[in-house]
């Protein structure tokens, strides 16, 4: 599934944006090579806890290649997971930084960095097959933590739950 995600070109707007950001880098990262591709989930495949975010950050995961890595959202998330004993270290800076997660899997509703950090519902729908397959893989999941209403709607759609 990882290769299929990384090779995805379903959303022209997102492909154009993620690749543009990879070339027209933020000044702080001008010397870094950007990942510039869709992001796969990360963590413990036996996890009981699933953390579901919105989408990769343009200069975070889109740069580093790991979900919630290299931006302030990730700084907060991994610090909290470390304090709870679910992450081996309090920060995530790159895919090869040695970070491991215990009992947690992290993913996002949309796999590409969106312009203005605002993916559309149709883009969420195009990524939904990846979430479907991740949920099938994560057979021990007991808790799903949605970070925001967009990811909450993604999981409601996936599980066919109608919020009140």
pLDDT digits (tens, 9 = 90+) for 72-82: 999 999 999 99
Give the pair of three-digit tokens for residue 11. 């959303």
CA distance 53 to 7: 21
84 belongs to a structural domain: yes
16 belongs to a structural domain: yes
pLDDT above 80: residue 164: no
90 belongs to a structural domain: yes
The average confidence (pLDDT) of the chain is 97
Query: What residues pair up with 144 in beta bridges, in sequence order?
Result: 50
43 belongs to a structural domain: yes
164 belongs to a structural domain: no
Model pTM? 0.95
The domain that contains 8 carries what CATH number?
3.40.470.10
Mean pLDDT of 109-134: 98
What residues make up the domain containing 24? 2-159
37 belongs to a structural domain: yes
Mention every residue, 6+ apart, whose C-beta is less than 8 A from residue 74: 57, 60, 61, 68, 92
**How many C-alpha atoms does 133 have within 13 Å on its Cβ side?**
10
60 belongs to a structural domain: yes
CA distance 78 to 38: 20
Q: What is the pLDDT of residues 131-157, one digit of tens each?
A: 999 999 999 999 999 999 999 999 999
64 belongs to a structural domain: yes
Q: What is the pLDDT of residues 64-113, one digit of tens each?
A: 999 999 999 999 999 999 999 999 999 999 999 999 999 999 999 999 99
Crossing angle of the two packed helices 149-159 and 121-137, in degrees rounded to 10 = 60
CA distance 110 to 92: 20
Domain tally, the chain: 1
């Amino acid at each position: 599934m990882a290769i299929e995600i990384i090779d995805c070109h379903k959303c022209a707007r997102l492909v154009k944006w993620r690749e543009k950001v990879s070339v027209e880098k933020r000044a702080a990262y001008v010397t870094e090579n950007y990942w510039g591709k869709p992001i796969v989930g990360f963590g413990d495949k036996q996890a009981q806890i699933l953390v579901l975010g919105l989408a990769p950050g343009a200069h975070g995961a889109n740069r580093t290649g790991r979900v919630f890595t290299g931006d302030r959202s990730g700084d907060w998330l991994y610090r909290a997971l470390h304090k709870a004993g679910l992450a081996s270290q309090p920060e995530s800076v790159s895919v090869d930084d040695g970070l491991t997660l215990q009992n947690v899997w992290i993913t996002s509703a949309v796999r590409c960095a969106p312009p203005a950090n605002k993916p559309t519902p149709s883009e969420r729908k195009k990524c939904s097959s990846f979430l479907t397959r991740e949920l099938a893989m994560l057979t021990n999941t007991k808790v799903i933590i949605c970070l925001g209403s967009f990811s909450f709607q993604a999981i409601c759609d996936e599980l066919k739950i109608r919020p009140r």
